[in-house]
Every structure is written in C-alpha cells, then in structure tokens.
Structure 1
Amino acid sequence: MWVEIYSEKRLRLELETSSSAISQQARQHAHTDELILTYGASDLAERWLKQANSRRYRLILAESSDVRGSAAMAARLSAAGVPVTLVNSASVTGLMSRVNKVVLGVSAVLAGGAARAAAGAHAVTLAAKHYSVPVIALAPLYKLSPLHACNQTPAAALASPHRALPYEYAESAVCRPYAPLDDSIPPDHITLFITNLGGSSPSYIYRLLSELYDPNDYEL
C-alpha cells in the first residue's frame, strides 16, 4: 500500500514538473538572431519558446491541420514578445534553407528513437534533414513507450475526415478522405530529444527505458 502511494506521488510530481524542467533548458539551445521553426500548436513547445525569448530569436510557426490552434498559439507568442511569422505548412520546404533549427512537441517517444508527432510533422523533419537543419524534439519522460515504430497501427489513429476535407466542399460527397492524428518521425530525422532529465540522442532512448522502467512492466 505504501509503495503504491509513493509511486502515485512520484508520478504526479513528474507530470507537474516535467514541462518546467524542459522549458528551463530553452536558453541552452536557442541563440541570438537564430531563425527557429516549429510546427502546429503544442503547449510544451509554446512554453519552451516563451522561456527562450530572452535570446531574441525569430520564429516561424507552420500551421498544422488545426489552423485555429496554430493561429491562437502564434497570437499568444506574439503577445509574449516573440517575433513570430505564421505560414502555411506548404511553404516549409521553401523556407527550410534559412532555418537554423526546428523545435517540435511530440506525443510519444518510441523505443528505437522514433517519435509520434502531429500529422504533417514528418514532412517538416524530412525537409529539415534535406537541408541538414537540426531537429529538437521536446519529450517528457512519461511519454516514453516500449513499442517500436513497426508495432504501431496507423489505422488506429484517425481523426474525423472533416479535418482533411470539410463537408461543405462538393468533393466530400464522392471522396473518402483519411485524416491521421499523428505522424511517425524516424530516429534519423531527430537530432536531440530534450527530456526533463536533459538532452538525449535518439540512439540513447532504449537506455533510458531500461534505466527508468522494468522490462516486466512493458506489457501490463
């Protein structure tokens, strides 16, 4: 009983402090006059970018499928003093050659160093790899998963088709669109994971799993 209470308190403390621990590392990775690109609306990325604002960088925010959320995040960052430019995701490849680094919030970190992020993020990291732009993924340790990318089931993570093709368009009567909730980002597209314990390369994720979790708990 005591062990269960202790574990619950420890997990709650990790959930409450992870975001602040990650955002406090922002000044180590953002530099003056840099051009940083982020994709979509992410609470953790927003907090990280606000914390890094003392470096006086410039920000490009590429819209995800959640256009309203992206615009709202851009407005909040602008109000906080961050010089932000909101662009369509289709223009990311053309802008990437001028970008210094990409910062992404992720929804999960897989055992092999891959990650799950908002739909469309794979195209962003692919452009970053083409132009040799470093990609920083913000990932609290509670988002670590013992699964590998090959164990994922893409069909299980679909959103409403309205997100991809609104109902008011005539094409919606004859098309069957699919709107995935997230993308799988390969480990070779990510330069560094920033966790609440510091920075880790994708190849080190398996070691974090072995240090933080018992293999017997991988399948509950």
Structure 2
Amino acid sequence: MAENELGIEDVRAQLGDLVDDAHYEGTITHITRRGRRLASIVPAGVKAASLPDEAIDAAFDAAWPGLPEGISLGEARRRVIAALNAAYPHMIVPSEPQALPDVDRLKQVSESLEKQINEGAFSPEQTERMRKAVEDLAETIRKTRVQMTHQQIVTKAVKEEGGVWDATRTVTTLGLAGHGVDDKRARAVLRRIAATGILTRTSQTRAIYETTEK
C-alpha cells in the first residue's frame, strides 16, 4: 500500500487528486503541519470501524489520561478514532508482493500460437488445445493489466508509443487495460508521470504532454 506525506497547504491544492489516489490505488496520504502529522487521507475501506468495538474502547481508555484537560468525551473519542484510522494500515501484516506476469511475453506466445494454428501446424486435437491455451493467455493478460496501477499502465504505453499525450489518449489507454476513468483522473496520472521526467508539458492552459527525448 503506497504512502506519501504532504504539508497541509499542498493538500489543499491537490485534495481531489489525493482522494482519487486513495480510492483508485489505495494510496494513503499523511497530512502534516510544520513536519508534524495531523491527519491522513485513507481509502474508505481502511478505517477504525473495521476493528472490534472492544479494541476501540481499549485504545480510548489508554489514551484518555494523556489527552488535554477539559476535552469533552466526544472530542476525545474522535481523536482516538482518527489516530486509529491512520494507524490501522500498519496493523496489517503485508503479504509478500506478487510479481505480475510479463504481458509482452504473454502476447508474443499468444501470437505465435495463433500463427501456427492458422498455418495448420497442429492436428485437430492439438488445435483445440492450442485454441484453449490462447484463450487462457488472453484472460491472463486481461487480469494482469487490471492489476497494474494507472501510472504503471500509462508509463508503459508512453515508453512504448511515445508522441503526444492528453487526457483523451490516457482515458483510452486505461480503458483498453480494463480501467474506466474520467478526464480528471487521466490528467492527474499524466501529472504524476511528468514528475518522473518522461513527459514534458507543452501547454500552459491545457493538459498536453510530449515524450521527453533522452
């Protein structure tokens, strides 16, 4: 689960994009003021409500003596739950990351099988098995593309295809990979890719980028 940390002024300017990152990609953004974390933007499914009530009560009882004098019970509980919201993702033991299949290699194998089938290289029984193998490869390619993040998918396309990129082309690229997004999300993806240096914005008024020549 990706995480980042931003000052409160930067968050105000990017709030919509940060919420999209949380929703679409599970990114957690910690909001800071003068280097001190104040709150976090987390995906809706990652919240203290996922913990048993007794765990929240235990956290509240433990935190109560250290909270400021005169604070109301409601405000105290709100603060404890906000802290648990931020801490909850770190309570989960991360699983070993699973390497995604090489989509390009799968496509090469699929195309090779298709060519041999069309040329009659197999017996009828073998042809049936090979067609099933091609179908299975197509499904694996589809699932792999869906598992890739928006930025990974578009970055891969930018490197392979080059040229000019805008929101429309980005929406189309993500749509072909099984991700339905709107223009706003597409522009956010392009901004993030441009920050890595492989795209350069060519218009001050429109989200149009060109591949950086290196």
Q: State TM-score, norm by structure 2.
A: 0.25
| Larger helix proportion of the pair | 2
Q: Which has the higher strand share?
A: 1
Larger-Rg structure: 2
TM-score between both structures, scaled by the size of structure 1: 0.25
Higher relative contact order (CA 8 A, sep 6+): 1
